[in-house]
Amino acid sequence: MARTPHKNEFQRIATYLAPLTAAAPGAFGLLDDAAVIETPAGQSTVVTTDTMVEGVHYVGDEAPSLIARKLLRVNLSDLAAMGARPSAYTLNLALPESVSDAWLADFTEGLRLDQTSYGISLIGGDSVATPGPATLTITAFGDAAEGEVLRRAGARAGDGLYVSGTIGDGALGLLVLRGEIGGLDAIARDELVDRYRLPRPRSALGVGLVGTAHAAADISDGLVADLGHVASASGLAAEIDLACIPLSSAAGAALDHDSDLWPTVLAGGDDYELVFAAPETATLDELSAHSETPITRIGEFRTGTGVTVMGDGVPMVLDRAGYRHG
């Protein structure tokens, strides 16, 4: 798998990475030129991939296990948005020479934890040296019934507009890390940082929505942007009722202290919640039957284009200074 690794890299692969393949016979213990993805009969394999660069997508002083789990989970969030059940992943490590065995041990321990949580296995990868920052790629695979993936296109006029969990925590958590947010106690700060560092991919919800939801996406670039992708792919407008947006108590406290944080909540990203369209007739109970994740109806899809946020019944305008009445 790995091309011309150094002796030390062979050793690292055997010590830290091969054990992560123990439950995947198609990985051949990382000793072959390629791996076999096990796809159940009648299922399609769904694939997504994300790269994180030290100093760009993470600071570098985080616990390596958290870096690993975030990289894995942003991929699992993409699979959830497609309604695919995660099954396996490959890992490409471009690491500077300064990376120690202890770093790699903690990194792979993070992967091991999440493999157990999500029922997935490492099946392949590559390990190379780089003179630059650590550059980490995971490519994740999932199963979906043939022809039944959730797409961004497919919402219909009159569909309800839903999100999972709470919105804005990840982006606010990044502000906490930067020391750019005030008025929060230590517990609230920790909660927001935790949401930034450790996404909760909504795998069970995504799989459960197949057959009911008309369209879905995960919220990585921000609610307004990702909902905008669903609306435009579906040829529709989307209208959000600001008062309906589900907030954690920590995010609520932050907004109480400074309402200029609303644009961060609506457009900041790193939520890794699902935003989806479901028929008017679907009930909350039906939609959340397969998942413990709360879901909230925050608006609807209409004929037209664009995303509108309604505050007190009036369209709001997003500009640099924040949301305001239009």
Question: Helix, strand or coil for residue 273?
Answer: coil
What is the Cα–Cα distance from 168 to 261, expressed in whole angstroms? 9
154 touches its own copies by CB under 8 A: no
Which residues have C-beta within 8 Å of that of residue 196, sequence separation ≥ 6?
169, 170, 171, 172, 173, 174, 176, 177, 270
* Closest CB to its own copies among residues 104, 123: 123
Site for its own copies (CB under 8 A): which residue of 14, 22, 31, 243? 31
Residue 45 touching its own copies (CB under 8 A): yes
Which is closer to its own copies, CB of 56 or CB of 314? 56
∠ CA(93), CA(95), CA(101), 5° rounding?
A: 95
Phi, psi of 61 (to 5 degrees): -100, 5
Cβ atoms of residues 257 and 182 within 8 Å: yes
Report whether 237 contacts 305 (CB < 8 A).
yes
Q: Are strands 121-129 and 85-95 parallel, antiparallel or unpaired?
A: parallel
Tokens of 213: 């939801």
Distance, CA of 78 to CA of 234 (rounded, Å): 18
164 binds its own copies (CB under 8 A): no
Q: Which of 20, 68, 74, 307 binds its own copies (CB under 8 A)?
A: 74
- CA distance from start to end of the chain: 56
Token digits of residue 265? 């909540």
Window 229 to 258, contacts with its own copies (CB under 8 A): 229, 233
CA distance 85 to 267: 28
Which DSSP letter does residue 15 get?
A: I
Which segment (14-22, 214-222, 249-257, 295-303) binds its own copies by CB under 8 A?
214-222
Read off the DSSP letter of residue 27: G
Query: Nearer to its own copies by C-beta: 90 or 308?
Result: 90
Nearer to its own copies, 93 or 205 (CB): 93
- Min dist CB 35 to its own copies, Å, is 5
273 binds its own copies (CB under 8 A): no
List the one residue from 64, 110, 125, 228 that touches its own copies (CB under 8 A).
125
Nearer to its own copies, 150 or 278 (CB): 150
Cα–Cα distance, 195 to 213 (Å, whole number): 26
The verdict on 269 binding its own copies (CB under 8 A) reads yes
Which one among 18, 57, 194, 198 touches its own copies, defined by CB under 8 A?
A: 57
Q: 81 or 253, CB closer to its own copies?
A: 81
Distance CA 11, CA 143 (A): 32
Query: Of the candidates 142, 160, 201, 228, which one interacts with its own copies according to CB under 8 A?
Result: 142
Is 60 a residue that touches its own copies (CB under 8 A)? no
- To the nearest 10 degrees (0 to 180), the angle between helices 249-257 and 169-177 is 60
| 117 counts as binding its own copies under rule CB under 8 A | no
Contacting residue, 108, 121, 139, 296, with its own copies by CB under 8 A: 139
In the complex with its own copies, the residue whose CB is nearer, 41 or 186, is: 41
Q: What residues make contact with its own copies under the rule CB under 8 A?
A: 1, 3-4, 26, 28, 31-39, 44-53, 55-57, 74, 77-79, 81-82, 84, 90, 92-94, 123-126, 128-133, 135, 137, 139, 141-142, 144, 149, 151-152, 217-218, 220-221, 229, 233, 269
